[in-house]
Amino acid sequence: MRKPAILFASLVILLVVFGVSIFGQEKYTPKPNEEIYGTWVNEETNQKTVKNPDGSFANYFPASYSKPFQGGKSEIFKKWTDSEGSVYYNTFDTLAFGSYSMDKTQCLWKVSKSGTVLETIWVGVSEFRPDKFPSTLDTKSGNYFIYYRAKE
- Residue 7 covered by a domain: no
Burial of 52 (0-12, 13-18, 19+ CB in 10 A): middle
pLDDT digits (tens, 9 = 90+) for 68-86: 999 999 999 999 999 999 9
Percent of the chain residues past pLDDT 90, beyond the cut: 78
User: 98: pLDDT confidence band, cut at 50, 70 and 90?
Assistant: confident
Domain membership flag for residue 2? no
Distance between CA atoms of residues 123 and 28, nearest Å: 20
How would residue 25 be classed by pLDDT, with cut points 50, 70 and 90?
Answer: low
Rounded CA-CA distance 137/133 in Å is 11
Question: What local confidence, expressed as pLDDT, does residue 99 receive?
Answer: 73
Do the strands 70-81 and 117-125 form a parallel or antiparallel pair, or are they unpaired? unpaired
Instruction: Name the band, by pLDDT with cuts 50, 70 and 90, for residue 2.
Output: low
pLDDT digits (tens, 9 = 90+) for 110-125: 999 999 999 999 999 9
pTM here is 0.81
**In this structure, is residue 4 part of a structural domain?**
no
Give how many domains the chain has, as a whole number.
1
Residue 91 lies in a domain: yes
Q: Does any domain span residue 12?
A: no
The candidate with the shortest Cα–Cα distance to 54, out of 37, 41, 68, is 37
Residue 1: inside a domain, yes or no?
no
Whether residue 131 lies inside any domain: the answer is yes
Asked whether residue 82 is domain-assigned, the answer is yes
Comparing C-alpha atoms, which of 33, 47, 130, 123 is closest to residue 87? Answer: 33
For residue 139, the enclosing domain spans 26-149
What one-letter code names the amino acid at 111?
V
Q: In this structure, are residues 117 and 109 in contact, taking their beta carbons and an 8 Å threshold?
A: no
